Amino acid sequence: MFLWQYQFRNEETKLGNEFDRYRHQHDKGVGAKISWLLNIPKFWNSPLSKEVIRILGPEKGENVLDIGAGMGPATVEAASRGAHVVAVDPSRFMRAVLGFRRQFQKNPGLITVEAGVAERIPLSKGSTDVVFAVNAVHHWVDLEASIEEIVRVSSSQGRVLLVDEDFTNPDHPQHEKHHDHEEEMTKVDVDMIKSIFESYGVEATGEKVSLAGLPVKLIKANVH
């Protein structure tokens, strides 16, 4: 085996093992993949993802990063505006689905699918104009390392939007089913995340609002 093949497989294995740290118990095993496939309409098209892209307004030619891209509803929406999107996800399964989906887009060359996690973003310093994550923050293992990476890859005028559905809110339609989902993952505390951004000298806001008809936890930051 060539060295580069070994290094690639080693990295894939590490990401595969590490992925277990980034997902819920119900996301593990063959049953989870079957469930994802059965729920493709839900993961394929997301009004929430469309609203995130509308707020950020990525423009043609801008470099965009989707962290925890999944099946790519936000990635596809951003690319449809002419932006160059790097979609990062630790799940080989999700990357395969998005890679397949990418082939049927009007401009597939605008989408790049990469293995990675928020704590180790595979992009160079200052290379990204827009960064977003939709329903991904609760999967991050190390919030401070993730935000440090977001700041690192953001350009001098970078725009950041992190949005997680607030299942703890009784008004959420899936409150009964998922109200405790953060207990086994990372708690999305908007004030704490806002303060971490500010510790890196980044202007940020954190609030609980309604977006696309859903209660969400929203953190917005502008890198200068």
What pLDDT sits at residue 175? 66
128-134: strand order across its sheet: 111-115, 84-89, 63-67, 128-134, 154-165, 214-222, 203-211
What pLDDT sits at residue 93? 87
Statement: residue 216 has pLDDT above 80: yes
What pLDDT sits at residue 7? 42
What pLDDT sits at residue 170? 86
Confidence of residue 158 (pLDDT cuts 50, 70, 90): very high
Statement: residue 223 has pLDDT above 60: yes
Type of residue found at 82:
G
SS3 at position 72 = coil
The whole-angstrom distance between residue 171's C-alpha and the CA centroid of its chain comes to 24
Instruction: Taking residues 3-21, report their average pLDDT.
Output: 47
Statement: residue 184 has pLDDT above 90: no
Rounded-to-integer distance, Cα 172 and Cα 208, Å:
12
CA-nearest of 92, 99, 55 to 76 is 99
Task: Judge whether 119 and 146 are in contact, CB under 8 Å.
Answer: yes
pLDDT 10s digits, 103-139: 999 999 999 999 999 999 999 999 999 999 999 999 9
Give backbone dihedrals phi and psi of 211, rounded to 5 degrees, phi first: -140, 130
Confidence of residue 173 (pLDDT cuts 50, 70, 90): confident
* % of the chain beyond a pLDDT of 70: 76
Rounded-to-integer distance, Cα 204 and Cα 221, Å:
4
Task: Judge whether 162 and 137 are in contact, CB under 8 Å.
Answer: yes
What pLDDT sits at residue 5? 39
Helix 92-102 / helix 3-19 crossing angle, nearest 10 deg: 110
pLDDT 10s digits, 84-105: 999 999 999 899 999 999 999 9
What pLDDT sits at residue 148? 98
Residue whose tokens read 């998005």? 98
Give the domains, in start order, of the chain with CATH numbers. 3-222 (3.40.50.150)
In the numeric block, which tokens belong to residue 16? Answer: 């595969």
Statement: residue 22 has pLDDT above 60: no
Task: Share the mean pLDDT of the chain.
Answer: 86
What pLDDT sits at residue 172? 84
